[in-house]
Amino acid sequence: MAKEQVQIFDTTLRDGEQVPGCKLDTKNKLKIAKRLDELGVNILEAGFPISSPGDYNSVVEISKIVKNATVCGLTRAVKKDIEVAADSLRFAKKPRIHTGIGTSDSHIRYKFNSNREKILERAIDSVKYAKKFVEDIEFYAEDAGRTDNEFLAHVCEQVIKAGATVLNIPDTTGYCLPNEYGSKIKFLKENVKGIHKATISCHCHNDLGLATANSISGVLNGARQIECTINGIGERAGNTSLEEVVMIMRQHPDLNVDTSINSKLLYSTSQLVSESMGMIVQPNKAIVGANAFAHSSGIHQDGVIKKRETYEIINPKDVGVDKSSIVLTARSGRAAIAYRAKKIGHDLTKLELDNVYKEFLILADQKKEINDSDLPEIIKKVK
Ligand code: KIV
Ligand code: ZN
């Protein structure tokens, strides 16, 4: 049976770029946009066009070069925002306007000093207005994670009637638990009239480290689009990480969902974004971190050398990493030393290995990591 497709909506260049101090210029944005298109993202959120002339210009230029993905621009539920976004998307083969407004009581009361009726009216008006410019309209109910489900369902129903093709249900503050976020999506699937006419999208922030889990929970409950960023970058603790959700669906065929992402480009894309933004990837980051396929303890190394799958659930080649690595530290065992020695041309006997190991431990207790230039020195000493 063919797997159901989950659309990947990449927002590295919009929500991702909201990381303090990591601003990208148009040249770098174009480089990343080209790569995201090659990676196979379905929708590429290129920016928030009204926010600055630079962002407007980036959306214009990105629209010209993207070949496959839908190009999307963010707006508030404000006419001028929508006009500027529509204008910036004029060269896009497949343009989408992403408009919306806060729907939680907190946003309604404190941000807008308004009430539910007026917010609903603005939501409907903004979708109707955006529809005058493009066919594909995504509506976001900001802070949906903390919005009352009945009201959220009512807003969703009305914006679908007004022409929204995608409903974005953001957990803007990263507050929800996975079962809570999943139940919200299920509630919308079961209670919004006309829901079959729209795609439900998950947009989860990582304030409690739950963005990936929440997005997957959303998909398990009927969402068919995930909004995410390369390396999980974004406001505060970041957004859902693209590489994580893609590989979760790939590694779990039982979920019966997949994406169009070429996973072999994940590692190099992560590096490109990291270098362009001057933002390092934490070494223990799932999928793309420097240690994601590195083994340093003796027990693990022994297993991986015998059969990679004993300690790895992903083949590194599938995400564009050349190979797993055996790192030599004071926690390494004889198997790892013999393995690395062989790689640099020394086939050690059992006795030689015992002697090398003793010397190795003395040095390893002083140094964090023993590299390929240290090993020949130790071998020379004992051979
Ligand atoms: O987190 C959020 O709610 C957003 C919206 C603007 C889509 O980024
Ligand atoms: Zn966001």
Please write the tens of the pLDDT for every residue from 104-120: 999 999 999 999 999 99
Q: Return the closest-CA partner of residue 327 out of 289, 293, 297, 296.
A: 296
Do 123 and 163 contact (CB within 8 A), yes or no? no
Sign of the dihedral through C-alpha 258, 259, 263, 266: negative
Task: Give the atom of ligand 1 at the shortest distance from the alpha carbon of 140.
Answer: 7
Is residue 312 scored above 90 in pLDDT? Answer: yes
Residue 203 CB less than 6 A away from ligand 1: yes
Q: How many angstroms separate the CA atoms of 139 and 134, rounded?
A: 13
Predicted local distance difference test score (pLDDT) of residue 22: 83
Q: What percent of the chain has pLDDT over 90?
A: 96
Predicted local distance difference test score (pLDDT) of residue 372: 81
Nearest 5 degrees, angle CA 176-CA 273-CA 75? 55
Beta bridge partners of 10: 44, 228
Mean pLDDT of 258-284: 97
Mean pLDDT of 7-17: 97
Predicted local distance difference test score (pLDDT) of residue 43: 99
Q: How confident is the model at residue 20 (pLDDT cuts 50, 70, 90)?
A: confident
Is residue 254 scored above 90 in pLDDT? Answer: yes
Predicted local distance difference test score (pLDDT) of residue 21: 82
Task: Give the atom of ligand 1 at the shortest distance from the alpha carbon of 168.
Answer: 7
Q: How many angstroms separate the CA atoms of 156 and 141, rounded?
A: 8
Tell me the range of 83-87, 296-300, 363-367 where mean pLDDT is highest: 83-87
Q: How many angstroms separate the CA atoms of 218 and 64, rounded?
A: 33
Predicted local distance difference test score (pLDDT) of residue 257: 98
What is the distance in A from the centroid of ligand 1 to the CA of 344? 51
Q: Report the CATH architecture of 4-277.
A: Alpha-Beta Barrel (3.20)
Mean pLDDT of 137-152: 98
Nearest ligand to residue 141 Cα: 1
C-alpha distance from residue 79 to each of 54, 71, 140 (Å): 20, 20, 16
Residue located nearest, by CA, to atom 6 of ligand 1: 142
In the three-class reduction of DSSP (H, G, I as helix; E, B as strand; rest coil), residue 332 is classed as coil
Could you state, in order of their start, the residue ranges of all structural domains in the chain? 4-277, 294-382
Predicted local distance difference test score (pLDDT) of residue 249: 98
Residue located nearest, by CA, to atom 1 of ligand 1: 172
Q: How many angstroms separate the CA atoms of 130 and 79, rounded?
A: 8
Q: Which range has the worst mean pLDDT, 135-139, 215-219, 297-301, 372-376?
A: 372-376
C-alpha distance from residue 277 to each of 43, 264, 290 (Å): 21, 22, 17
Predicted local distance difference test score (pLDDT) of residue 371: 86
Mean pLDDT of 9-26: 92
List all residues 6 or more positions away from 177 whose beta carbon is below 8 Å from its beta carbon. Answer: 210, 214
Helices 334-343 and 374-382 meet at what angle, rounded to 10? 100
| Overall residue count recorded for the chain in this entry | 383
Question: Strand locations in 196-348, DSSP E?
Answer: 199-204, 225-228, 257-258, 294-295, 325-326
End-to-end CA distance of the chain: give it in Å, rounded: 60
Predicted local distance difference test score (pLDDT) of residue 382: 85
- What does the block give as tokens for 124? 């409907």
Is residue 368 scored above 90 in pLDDT? Answer: no
Residue 81 CB less than 6 A away from ligand 1: no
Is residue 383 scored above 80 in pLDDT? Answer: no
Mean pLDDT of the chain: 97
pTM of the predicted model, to two decimals?
0.96
Q: How many angstroms separate the CA atoms of 263 and 317, rounded?
A: 9
- What does the block give as tokens for 319? 């995400």
C-alpha distance from residue 173 to each of 139, 177, 202, 320, 378 (Å): 18, 12, 13, 32, 53
Mean pLDDT of 216-234: 98
Q: How many angstroms separate the CA atoms of 41 and 72, rounded?
A: 12
Sign of the dihedral through C-alpha 175, 211, 47, 63: negative
Is residue 212 scored above 80 in pLDDT? Answer: yes
Beta bridge partners of 202: 169, 226
Residue that is written with structure tokens 């929800």 in the block: 176
Q: How confident is the model at residue 245 (pLDDT cuts 50, 70, 90)?
A: very high
